């Protein structure tokens, strides 16, 4: 059964290509469905597509880190809340995404989908503060990306979203 997930995308800044909505919806639904958590009802996630300057401001304000980052996640639910309604927000930085995709020699679409899966797992409570958490989260991401038909997003690489 497909999770009922509404994906709201706002493009604030950056040279984001057209046609990202279906990619985002597919990646986010897969992340939700294969997160290991039971979905209790219809859900919504907001995605902000912005540039490095705006992402840097968000990162500074919410995480105390004065630099741009690829993805930021803002969960709206507590760990014991039912998994329904507004799950939270995800923000992606265009220049960082493009640069990382080039450095990793991956197509833009692959890295875009991966960052959304990564961000959704953070919204749902996954983290990578310890090595054990990181390995579990990376394995979950790899499985989800594989279900979507994408190659292993790590393939010897580590996604840094500090």
Q: Does 113 map to a domain?
A: yes
CATH of the domain at 136: 3.40.390.30
Whole-number Cα distances in Å, 114 to 26, 98, 100 = 11, 13, 12
Give the model's pLDDT for residue 14. Answer: 85
pLDDT in tens, 57-77: 999 999 889 988 999 999 999
CA dihedral for 16, 11, 51, 160, sign (positive or negative): negative
Q: Does 155 map to a domain?
A: no
Q: How far apart are CA 1 and CA 9, in angstroms?
A: 24
pLDDT of 140 strictly over 70: yes
pLDDT in tens, 93-119: 999 999 999 999 999 999 999 999 999
pLDDT of 158 strictly over 60: no
Give the model's pLDDT for residue 159. Answer: 53
- Determine contact, residues 161/71, Cβ cutoff 8 Å: yes
Give the model's pLDDT for residue 160. Answer: 52
Q: Extract the tokens encoding 96.
A: 């960082």
Give the model's pLDDT for residue 1. Answer: 54
Give the model's pLDDT for residue 3. Answer: 77
pLDDT in tens, 12-60: 998 999 999 999 999 999 999 999 898 989 999 999 999 999 999 999 9
If phi over 0 gives left and psi between -120 and 50 gives alpha, with beta otherwise, what is residue 36?
left
Q: Does 158 map to a domain?
A: no
Give the model's pLDDT for residue 155. Answer: 80
Q: Does 128 map to a domain?
A: yes
Give the model's pLDDT for residue 131. Answer: 86
- Determine contact, residues 17/60, Cβ cutoff 8 Å: no
Q: How far apart are CA 43 and CA 4, in angstroms?
A: 6
Q: Does 21 map to a domain?
A: yes
When pLDDT is averaged across residues 123-144 and rounded to a whole number, the result is: 90
Give the model's pLDDT for residue 73. Answer: 95
What is the residue range of 104's domain?
5-147
pLDDT of 128 strictly over 60: yes
Pairing status of strand 43-50 against strand 5-11: parallel
- Determine contact, residues 90/45, Cβ cutoff 8 Å: yes
How crowded is residue 54: how many other Cβ atoms within 10 Å of its Cβ?
Answer: 18
Q: Does 91 map to a domain?
A: yes
Whole-number Cα distances in Å, 85 to 44, 49, 105, 126 = 6, 21, 37, 19
- Number of structural domains (the chain) is 1
Q: Does 47 map to a domain?
A: yes
Q: How far apart are CA 104 and CA 160, in angstroms?
A: 12
pLDDT of 156 strictly over 80: no
Confidence of residue 152 (pLDDT cuts 50, 70, 90): very high
């Amino acid at each position: 059964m497909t999770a009922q997930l509404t994906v709201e995308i706002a493009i604030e800044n950056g040279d984001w290509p057209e046609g990202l909505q279906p990619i985002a919806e597919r990646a986010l639904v897969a992340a939700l469905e294969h997160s290991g958590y039971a979905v209790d009802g219809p859900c919504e996630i907001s995605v902000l597509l912005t540039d490095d300057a705006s992402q840097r401001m968000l990162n500074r304000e919410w995480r105390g880190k004065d630099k741009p980052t690829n993805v930021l996640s803002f969960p709206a639910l507590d760990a014991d809340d039912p998994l329904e309604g507004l799950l939270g927000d995800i923000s992606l930085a265009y220049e960082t995404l493009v640069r990382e995709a080039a450095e990793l020699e991956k197509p833009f679409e692959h890295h875009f989908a991966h960052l959304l899966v990564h961000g959704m797992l953070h919204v749902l409570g996954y983290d990578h503060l310890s090595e054990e958490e990181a390995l579990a989260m990376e394995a979950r991401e790899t499985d989800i990306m594989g279900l979507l038909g994408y190659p292993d997003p790590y393939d010897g690489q580590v996604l840094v979203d500090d």
